[in-house]
Chain A
């Protein structure tokens, strides 16, 4: 089997790449898929933290690349799911410690034993980003509805599109009440500017901060609406046509659903 290799990236830092990687991975795992998450942010790793697995790290990405251990030895299995594992980044090394080719080889290796390999890209467009993209066949670009984030996303879309890899968009931290009052760009605005296919809309939710503090992906919380949102994104990734959740202030969303090819 060769699983799908998807990089989750953004250009701008802090828009939710790691949170998206963790929760989308968890949502896919909940749907019975086998998932490997790879943290490509060498030196500033956070995927382990977000999933609460930081105490179980034995080996990391760089050690696998240097051949000091096997991939399967470095993978940390998240016991809350049937098949979700993560390959943590190294914390005390630099992004130049691994080449794009080495990273790509590891991602391909991982894809041989998983349905999905999700790669958490670092911020920026430097070495770490290039490594992360090298390991992927598809891309998900995450942005918030804010000017700087969208500008950076545009840059990243340009770079990835130049490699011919398909790209889809997740708009994160939407605040429908601010869109309604004209204080925030709408999803339509963002899609119009970036012109890439929409994969998901995730509203701002302060629970994310709390769950990150506790190291629990939000999809484990049945009471939180984000569980449904990430599940929908997982389904779209699987090819299902899933209507986008309508938030207040997204009156045109009905038309958007029809116009856009979801999933």
Chain B
């Protein structure tokens, strides 16, 4: 009787509920049974993220949580440094670091368009472009 009423009011059948629950519980069971796979996934995940930001590999936490009708993976990945768009960055201590993408030496704050031989070509080009842009663009135009 109760089942009949449940379906009358639009609730899913008990078999539909069972199938859904089973699907989710088996996912959880499989994850619990594959710690090595989870470790590898964490490792690979961190490798990918490290290409964009610098992370603290020791303090990474990955967990799985039931959220409503899905299983979600939650990753807490402490970020220690975010590189500047040009590739340089600083870590928490304020010392200059190089970007994760490229290994480049730190550039002195005041540099001239006429770069010295030691300055890498890319940086020089950027500064030159910036200088040119500043010169070319009147106030009001975008400087980027």
- Contact between chains at B15 and A179 (CB < 8 Å): yes
Contact of B25 among A151, A182, A184, A185 (CB under 8 A): A151
Contact of A189 among B14, B15, B30 (CB under 8 A): B15
CB contacts (< 8 Å) of B21 on chain A: these are 147
- Contact between chains at B19 and A185 (CB < 8 Å): yes
Contact of B19 among A154, A155, A183, A193 (CB under 8 A): A193
Contact of A183 among B13, B22, B23, B26 (CB under 8 A): B13
- Contact between chains at A151 and B29 (CB < 8 Å): yes
Which residues between 1 and 53 of chain B lie within 8 Å of chain A, taking CB atoms? 3, 7, 13-16, 18-19, 21-23, 25-26, 29-30, 33
Distance between B75 CB and nearest chain A CB, rounded to angstroms: 25
Contact of B15 among A151, A155, A158, A184 (CB under 8 A): A184
Known contacts A151-B29, A154-B29, A158-B33: A182-B13 contact under CB 8 Å? yes
- Contact between chains at A154 and B15 (CB < 8 Å): no
How far, in whole Å, are A151 and B21 apart by their CA atoms in the complex?
A: 10
How far, in whole Å, are A103 and B25 apart by their CA atoms in the complex?
A: 34
Known contacts A154-B29, A182-B7: A193-B14 contact under CB 8 Å? no
Q: Interface residues of A, CB < 8 Å — how many? A: 15
Contact of A193 among B3, B13, B26, B33 (CB under 8 A): B26
Q: Interface residues of B, CB < 8 Å — how many? A: 16
Known contacts A147-B21, A158-B33: A182-B26 contact under CB 8 Å? no
Contact of B22 among A151, A182, A184 (CB under 8 A): A151
How far, in whole Å, are A185 and B20 apart by their CA atoms in the complex?
A: 11
- Contact between chains at B33 and A182 (CB < 8 Å): no
- Contact between chains at B18 and A185 (CB < 8 Å): yes
How far, in whole Å, are A185 and B13 apart by their CA atoms in the complex?
A: 10
Shortest Cβ distance from B21 into A: residue: A147
- Contact between chains at A183 and B29 (CB < 8 Å): no
CB contacts (< 8 Å) of A151 on chain B: these are 22, 25-26, 29
A21 on interface, CB distance cutoff 8 Å: no
Distance between A11 CB and nearest chain B CB, rounded to angstroms: 12
Distance between A150 CB and nearest chain B CB, rounded to angstroms: 6
Question: Mind listing 11 A-B residue pairs with CB under 8 Å?
Answer: A147-B22, A150-B22, A151-B22, A158-B30, A181-B3, A182-B13, A183-B13, A183-B15, A184-B15, A186-B15, A189-B19
Q: Assuming A147-B18, A182-B7, what are 8 further A-B pairs, CB within 8 angstroms?
A: A154-B26, A158-B33, A179-B15, A182-B16, A185-B18, A185-B19, A189-B15, A189-B19
A interface vs B, CB < 8 Å? 147, 150-151, 154-155, 158, 179, 181-186, 189, 193
